[in-house]
Amino acid sequence: MATEVKVPTLGESVTEATVGQWLKKPGEAVKADEPIASLETDKVAIEVPSPVSGVLGELLVKEGDTVNVGAVIATIEDGGAPAAKAASAAPAPAKAEAAPAPAATPAPAAPAPAAAPAAESESASGPITLSPAVRRLVLEHGLDPSRITGTGKDGRLTKDDVLAAIAAGTAVAAAPAGASPAASAAPASGPSREQERVKMTRLRQTVARRLKEAQNNAAILTTFNDVDMTAVIEARAKYKDLFEKKHGIRLGFMGFFVKAACMALKDIPGVNAQIEGDEIVYNNFCDISVAVSAPNGLMVPVIRNAESMSIAEIEKTIADFGKRAKEGSLSMADMAGGTFTISNGGVFGSLLSTPIINPPQSGVLGLHRIEERPVVRNGQIVARPMMYLALSYDHRLIDGREAVTFLVAMKNAIEDPTRLLIDL
């Protein structure tokens, strides 16, 4: 008896998805609720769980196919059915094993050595399932994914794992298929001019479309300021152990910036507003979108009512988003809405950038790396840990004066964190 696997409900107004990856192969045993496939929608990757325990049967769609909600994509056979099917599907090997006994000749033994390497290769590569983003990164750098430790769900390889291995110099180049060690070590005869075409994921297509729409529809302008991080760094160093002991989470920098942004948005409500037709919608709450890294790229989940949260609650929410992003379990509900975005390019080493707003929002704050630079304090040139802040905004709604005032409010709050406690 076969059980159908159907595309689950994908969220409000989402009717179709793309099959990103099959996580199981036909004939493999699966447990109830174990993920067997990954679907990509316009916003997130969603795993399709097996409805029952059994063995994965026929795959009715291929990776890259577009499927609608409710469509049948595979079948799950009960535990006994696949064994019989497997036996009937491969009668030739059974006869080959039986043939040598009466003939008592060594001839049938010849295929065995040839079959062994193939089985070895299949078993070695079988457990490694790569998302499209990871597969593309591995191919671009010619790496052996089996030599990189995965930290994702069920030990899967994430984009961060590959990037970390490349940065640490521990990534091992993959040998060409069928090549001997001597051939692998031989230098290339000349520069390669090979090309590879990889279809854009549905998520990347949506990101590209929305960013282009933002450039076409909004009058985007960016203004900058810098902030002295000395006070925040000292506060973090002084209280990080007590903070972690009490709240069970590390004290980072994002909690300070989210809290400071909420205060600045309260003072400059236009940055927290949006244009709808010929009306301006002012939001009396702060739903802060924060960019987090995921295997399929950057995701932007939303911290709801961040203005009413403590720094500890903000840090816990961001940590939870980061964990779920790596596991691929962020939902579309997590990313819906948002009134203002904070993007931290500093974690990747960015010194300066001009971020693009996320429509229908009207502002995005870009954070950058912290580095010591010479500044003048009390007439003396001293080295201080400085960070550039960049605010990109829709000039149709926000004037330059408001944008600069917003950044100055951010600067004052970060350079004197006491302001965050007394709402000043």
Residues marked as catalytic: 395, 399
3 state SS of 368: coil
Nearest alpha-carbon partner for 115 in 123, 106, 105 = 123
The distance from CA 415 to its chain's CA centroid, rounded to whole angstroms, is 32
Tokens of residue 388, six digits:
């550039």
Amino acid occupying residue 221: L
How far is the CA of 149 from the CAs of 127, 141, 164, 262, 367, in angstroms?
13, 16, 10, 39, 30
Q: Are 148 and 171 in contact (CB under 8 A)?
A: yes
Return the closest-CA partner of residue 346 out of 393, 289, 299, 390. Answer: 390
DSSP states of 76-138 as a string? EE-SSHHHHHHHHH-HHHHHHHHTHHHH--SGGGTHHHHHHHHHHHHHHHTT----HHHHHHH
Q: Report the sign of the C-alpha dihedral through residues 304, 310, 313, 318, in that order.
A: positive
End-to-end CA distance of the chain: 67
Token pair belonging to 328? 């691929």
